[in-house]
Structure 1
Amino acid sequence: MSATSLSDTCKSSFATLNVSTEGPQLPELAFPPRVLEITEYGADGSRLQIALNTEAIQQTIDACAAAGGGTVWVPAGNFLTAPLTLRSNICLHLEKGATLVASSTEAQFRSTEANRHIAAENGWLPFLSIADAQNVAITGEGTIDGQGAVWWERWREHIRATGKKGGTDRPRLIYIVRSKDVLIEGLTLTHSPSFNIVMRHAENIEVRHTHIVSPFHAPNTDAIDPIDSRNIRITHNVIDCNDDHIAIKAEQADPRFPQGVVSNIYIAHNTLLQGRGISIGGETSGGVNNVLVAHNHFEGSMYGLRIKSSRGKGGQVRNIRYVDTTMVDVAVPLVLSGYYEAAPIARSEVDAILAKGGFMVGEQLYPPDTDPAQIYDINKTPDFAQIVIDGLTATGKINAAGYIVGVPEAPLRDLHFHNVHIEACHGLVVRNAKIHANRLQIKATLGPAWTLEKDGVINP
Structure 2
Amino acid sequence: MTQRTIFSLIAACMLQLTHAADYRITDYGAVNDTTKLSTEGVQRAIDACSKAGGGRVTVPTGMYKIGTIVLKSNVNLHLEHGATLYGSTSLADYKGMKSDYLSLRTQTETIQLIYADNVENVVIDGYGTIDGRGKSFKKLSWNDEGITRPHLLRIIRGRDIVVKDITLRNSGCWMQHYLACDRLRIQGIRVKNRNNYNNDALDIDGCHDVVVSGMIADSDDDGITLKSTSPRMCENVTICNCVVSSHCNAVKLGTETNGGFRNINISGITIKPSEDQTSQFFGLPHGISAVSLEIVDGGVLENVNVSNITAEGTESPIFIRLGNRARGYYQGQTITNVGKIRDVHIDNVIVRNAGNTGCSVTGLPGHPVEDIHISNVTVSHKGGAEKISIPTDEKEKDYPEANMWGILPAKGFFVRHARNVTFNNIGIRTEQPDQRPDFITEDVR
Scaled to the shorter chain, the TM-score interval is 0.7 to 0.9
Q: 1:418 to 1:86 in 2, by over 3 A?
A: same
Tell me by how many angstroms 1:326 deviates: 0.8
Tell me by how many angstroms 1:229 deviates: 1.2
2:67 is aligned to: 82
Structure 1 residue 188 corresponds to structure 2 residue 176:
no
C-alpha separation in 2, matches of 1:252 and 1:379: 16
SS in 1 for 2:112: coil
1:393 is aligned to: 350
Amino-acid identity (%): 25
Q: Is the 8 A contact 2:164 2:187 kept in 1?
A: yes
- For residues 273-292 of structure 1, the C-alpha deviation after alignment (integer angstroms, 9 at most, x for no partner) is 12422111112221211000
2:238 is aligned to: 266
Question: Which range is displaced more, 181-190 or 380-389?
Answer: 380-389
Q: Is the 8 A contact 1:442 1:449 kept in 2?
A: no
Q: 1:279 to 1:379 in 2, by over 3 A?
A: farther
Correspondence for 2:214 among 232, 236, 243: 236
Tell me by how many angstroms 1:340 deviates: 8.0
Structure 1 residue 200 corresponds to structure 2 residue 186:
no
Q: Is the 8 A contact 1:401 1:423 kept in 2?
A: no
Q: Is the 8 A contact 1:263 1:290 kept in 2?
A: yes
Correspondence for 2:376 among 419, 423, 429: 419
Matching residue's letter, 1:97: G
Correspondence for 1:382 among 318, 335, 339: 339
Question: Which range is displaced more, 379-388 or 409-418?
Answer: 379-388
For the aligned residue pairs, the C-alpha RMSD in angstroms reads: 2.6
Q: Is the 8 A contact 1:33 1:71 kept in 2?
A: no
Structure 2 length normalisation: TM-score?
Answer: 0.78
Number of residue equivalences: 375
SS in 2 for 1:123: coil
2:256 is aligned to: 283
Correspondence for 2:423 among 425, 434, 437: 437
Matching residue's letter, 1:53: S
Q: 1:340 to 1:326 in 2, by over 3 A?
A: farther
C-alpha separation in 1, matches of 2:298 and 2:217: 27
C-alpha separation in 1, matches of 2:18 and 2:312: 41
Structure 1 residue 148 corresponds to structure 2 residue 134:
yes
Q: Is the 8 A contact 1:31 1:90 kept in 2?
A: no
Tell me by how many angstroms 1:413 deviates: 1.2
Matching residue's letter, 2:29: G
Structure 1 residue 329 corresponds to structure 2 residue 329:
no
Q: Is the 8 A contact 2:324 2:338 kept in 1?
A: no
C-alpha separation in 1, matches of 2:372 and 2:121: 38
C-alpha separation in 2, matches of 1:181 and 1:298: 29
2:79 is aligned to: 94
Q: 1:146 to 1:33 in 2, by over 3 A?
A: same
Matching residue's letter, 1:297: T
Q: 1:142 to 1:292 in 2, by over 3 A?
A: same
C-alpha separation in 2, matches of 1:320 and 1:400: 24
Correspondence for 1:226 among 175, 180, 204: 204
Q: 1:431 to 1:201 in 2, by over 3 A?
A: same
Q: 1:138 to 1:396 in 2, by over 3 A?
A: same
Question: Which range is displaced more, 263-272 or 242-251?
Answer: 242-251
SS in 1 for 2:44: helix
C-alpha separation in 2, matches of 1:321 and 1:454: 25
C-alpha separation in 2, matches of 1:340 and 1:221: 25
Segments of structure 2 that go 5 or more residues without pairing to the other structure are 1-10, 274-286, 326-333, 384-410
Which has the larger share of strand? 2
Tell me by how many angstroms 1:218 deviates: 2.0
SS in 2 for 1:408: coil
Q: Is the 8 A contact 2:157 2:179 kept in 1?
A: yes
2:398 is aligned to: none
1:354 is aligned to: none
1:131 is aligned to: 117
C-alpha separation in 1, matches of 2:120 and 2:190: 24
Q: 1:33 to 1:234 in 2, by over 3 A?
A: farther
SS in 2 for 1:269: strand
Correspondence for 2:42 among 40, 50, 57: 57
Tell me by how many angstroms 1:222 deviates: 1.1
Tell me by how many angstroms 1:166 deviates: 3.6
Matches within 5 A, 1:363-382: 380-382=337-339
